[in-house]
Structure 1
Amino acid sequence: MSETSAEPLPTLEIALVKAGRTKIRYPAGLLQDDGTRITVRAPWAAPGVRDFGFVRFEPGDVFTEHYWRDRWYAIKEVYAADGTLKGWYCDVTRPAARDGSLLTVEDLDLDLWCSADGATVLRLDEDEFEASALPTKDPAAASAALRALTELESLARGGLLPGGS
């Protein structure tokens, strides 16, 4: 089924876990699962508006989200209600795990924002990451997370983030 098909998409439940607790859970339409990468589409799932200063997420926004079973990050294309690309919000995560219709992703605090024009690339929440227990509790995971953030920044600066074309 193509992304533009009028047929309803199969639904996955996305569970974003942080520090052992479910932070948010929301339904998303499954666009693709090739065994390694899972791509879904979902409306902005949180209540109200979230203004980060560099971007606002608000009702009507649509996210095309890419998760990998073998990478330590997720990349979310963020579109305004009118279809205009706002940019990419990237989460550093453990590799995604799918069990039937549930996709679980563990957020590791580090994030990256890239504006639609690629001019703004921001590393986010490095202070939260350092304050978390991960660097001492699981140094291997902390190291993988930092490598993932560097890889995301390289992809963003090279114009290599998925979608948006």
Structure 2
Amino acid sequence: MTTERLPRATWDAGWHPDQASVEALAALTPGAVVTVVKRAPDGSEAARYDATVATTAAPSPWVELVAEWTLPRVDVSGLVFETGDTLREFFSAEHPYNAFAVIGPDDTVRGWYGNVTYPAFMEAASGEDILVWHDLYLDVVILPDGTRHLLDDDELEESSIPSTDPGFAAAIIQARRELIDLIPRLAPGKPGLPPSPAPICPTAGS
């Protein structure tokens, strides 16, 4: 098994979704266990955990996974992750971002965390489904009152991408704009979704 098959960090007029992964995500069945692997921008493995395919259908071409936050308490620009919280995670093999809803034990939605990424891709080995997402620096937090915090612009600026591939840097920034618009529509009818436009607050680092 390998999770080293990563797209090249270059912008050449498309994100080039992996068609096999598009089909594999669509074929996941409710209740199936998926291993989620997060890759840092440099390609190194940053996290690995198990999640379950949700019983509620996400809008195509998205898949919704359910996981538990097992780490200590973290506060990111007012979005609090507490040990034992539920994460409802939305991934797509066709879009360059993902989004997580953070839900407390009383089913209250604490907010949303979104990541700009390469499109997710699937690796299968020994009968295990492995979903890999490769981070691309920029994040956004959206709180229940609609306030938005833009994160990690400094990390993108400090990377080599803006100078070596400005088109790719622009695509990453545009992807976050699309992600901000997407989150309120990703799970229509579910409680705790942010209302329409509210203040945007640039925030350095996370």
- TM-score (norm: length of structure 1): 0.83
* In 2, Cα distance between equivalents of 1:97 and 1:34: 18
Bigger radius of gyration among the two: 2
Residue 53 of structure 2: aligned partner: 30
Q: 2:137: which partner in 1?
A: 109
Correspondence for 1:3: none
Report the residue type matching 1:11 in the other structure: V
Shift, 1:10, TM fit: 1.2
1:56 Cα deviation from its structure 2 partner: 1.5
Contact 1:72/1:144 (<8 A) preserved: no
Q: Note if contact 2:58-2:187 (Cα within 8 Å) is conserved in structure 1.
A: no
Give the one of 34, 52, 72 matched to 1:12: 34
Q: What do you get for the CA RMSD once the two structures are aligned? A: 2.2
Once the two structures are superposed, the pairs formed by residues 86-165 of structure 1 within 5 Å of their partners are: 86-100=110-124, 101-118=129-146, 120-155=147-182, 159-162=184-187, 164-165=190-191
Hey, what's the Cα distance between the residues in 2 that align with 1:51 and 1:88? 12
Tell me if the contact between 1:115 and 1:121 (Cα under 8 Å) persists in the aligned partners.
yes
Structure 1 CA distance for aligned equivalents of residues 107 and 158 of structure 2:
37
Distance 1:108 1:133 in 2: 12
- Is the 1:75–1:90 Cα contact (8 Å) retained in structure 2? yes
After TM superposition, give the deviation of residue 139 of structure 1 in Å: 3.9
Counterparts of 1:24 and 1:146, CA distance in 2: 24
Contact 1:15 1:25 (C-alpha < 8 Å) held by counterparts: yes
Deviations 1:9-49 (A, max 9, x none): 2111100001110111110001268883221000014x211
CA distance in 2, matches of 1:138, 1:122: 26
Count of equivalent residues? 154
1:53 offset after TM fit, Å? 4.1
Between Structure 1 and Structure 2, the one with more strand by share is: 1
Which string of whole-angstrom CA distances, capped at 9 and with x for unpartnered residues, describes residues 63-82 of structure 1? 11001111110011110122
Q: Who is 1:63 aligned against? A: 87
Counterpart position of 2:104: 80
Aligned pairs (5 A) from 1:38-49: 38-45=63-70, 47-49=71-73
> Are the equivalent residues in 2 in contact too, given 1:113–1:123 (CA < 8 A)?
yes
Percent of aligned pairs sharing the same letter: 31
Q: 1:53, 1:154 → 2: CA distance? A: 19
User: Secondary structure of the equivalent of 2:66?
Assistant: strand
Cα distance in 2, alignment partners of residues 136 and 105 from structure 1? 24
